[in-house]
């Protein structure tokens, strides 16, 4: 019986084809995958660096992008603003620390001279809110806008023309208890 198996026609050729004839498919697969990985990696890196370049170009105009300082700003901190919130239900407190940012050369001096006026204005604004208002969406942004408007009113005699003394206002602490 073993003699019959050895004498089958084409036995040697089929063994050779199975062992070495399928080498073209793995080669094509390797070429396609390596090309795809190279192009995908290059596209990702190019996309990543192009975004960083655009951000640098916009920042070179001297204006801050997405709250990034340009180096010309001056800051002034107002800390420990604590007051009761309005409302008959329960006593609630609001505590805020904030940083004001501005460009004029006299910014820090003007802010120091008017610290007590700014604190008073801020406490009046904060005390005017009720607890129910504080639970609404966008409350912190609303407080930020209201404080900035009130500060602009207090400091309007120190502003240069129509420009405002305070360019940005940031909260470093905002707690309602």
Residues 78, 129 within the same domain: yes
Residues 86, 158 within the same domain: yes
Owning domain of residue 51:
11-59
pLDDT for 175 equals: 87
Residues 119, 143 within the same domain: yes
Cα torsion for 136, 138, 139, 141, to the nearest 10°? 180
Q: What is the CATH number of the domain that holds 80?
A: 3.30.479.30
Report residues of the chain scoring pLDDT below 50.
52-65
Q: Does residue 45 fall inside a structural domain?
A: yes
Say how far apart CA 9 and CA 6 lie, in whole Å. Answer: 9
- Global pTM reads 0.56
Residues 23, 54 within the same domain: yes
pLDDT for 58 equals: 44
Residues 42, 82 within the same domain: no
Say how far apart CA 165 and CA 161 lie, in whole Å. Answer: 10
CA distances from 156 to 75, 110, 136 (A): 18, 11, 31
């Amino acid at each position: 019986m073993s003699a019959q198996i050895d004498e089958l026609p084409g036995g040697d050729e089929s063994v050779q084809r199975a062992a070495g004839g399928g080498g073209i498919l793995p080669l094509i697969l390797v070429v396609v995958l390596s090309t795809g990985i190279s192009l995908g990696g290059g596209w990702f890196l190019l996309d990543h660096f192009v975004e960083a370049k655009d951000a640098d170009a916009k920042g070179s105009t001297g204006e801050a992008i997405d709250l990034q300082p340009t180096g010309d700003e001056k800051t002034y901190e107002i800390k420990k603003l604590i007051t009761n919130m309005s409302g008959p239900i329960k006593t609630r407190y609001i505590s805020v620390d904030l940083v004001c940012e501005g460009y004029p050369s006299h910014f820090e001096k003007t802010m120091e001279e008017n610290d007590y006026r700014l604190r008073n204005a801020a406490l009046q604004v904060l005390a005017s809110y009720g607890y129910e208002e504080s639970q609404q969406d966008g409350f912190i942004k609303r407080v930020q806008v209201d404080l900035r408007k009130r500060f602009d009113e207090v400091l309007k005699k120190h502003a240069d023309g129509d420009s405002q003394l305070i360019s940005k206002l940031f909260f470093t602490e905002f707690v309602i208890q």
